[in-house]
Amino acid sequence: MGNFVAIFNKVNNKNGKFTEDKNGNLPFIGTIVAGRAHTSLINGSVFTERNLIEGSPYWCTEEKVTVRGKDGIDMEVWNINVIGNVTPLQAMEMEKVLGAGKLVVEKVDASVDSQF
C-alpha cells in the first residue's frame, strides 16, 4: 500500500473516453504531486459522497483489490483511499519525504505462449 498526495479534478471527457456511473457522475482524475500511485481515478459518486473538494490536495493511500466485472470475470484494480486533506505547505513537505509525484503505469504482457 502506497502513500501519495494528489489534487483531483473532474475529467473533462471531451473525447468520450469516460462513462458516467449509475448516478450520472463522471470520475475525478488526480494529479500526483508527491509519492507514487498506480491509479489516479476516483468514482464521481464516491468523490461527492465523501464531500471532497475539487482542486484541493489530499493525502491518499492505495490498495489492490479484486472486483468482478459485469461480464463475471474477476480483475485486480487499484483503489484510492483518501485519508484527509493537506495544505499546500504540507504537500510540499510530503514531497520531500515521499519524493516527486509519479503515476506508475503497469505494463501488461500481451504475449501468447505457444504450448501446443
> 3-state class of 46 per DSSP?
helix
pLDDT at residue 45, as a whole number: 95
pLDDT at residue 67, as a whole number: 86
pLDDT in tens, 46-76: 999 999 999 999 999 999 999 888 888 998 8
Of all residues in the chain, the percent with pLDDT exceeding 90 is 73
pLDDT at residue 105, as a whole number: 83
pLDDT at 116 over 60: no
pLDDT at residue 109, as a whole number: 57
Rounded average pLDDT over 80-87: 95
Instruction: Classify residue 6 by burial, with Cβ atoms within 10 Å: 0-12, 13-18, 19+.
Output: buried
Cα angle 32-46-92, degrees, rounded to a multiple of 5: 25
pLDDT at residue 110, as a whole number: 54
pLDDT at residue 2, as a whole number: 81
pLDDT at residue 26, as a whole number: 95
pLDDT at 79 over 70: yes
DSSP 8-class letter at 100: B
Report yes or no on whether pTM surpasses 0.85. Answer: no
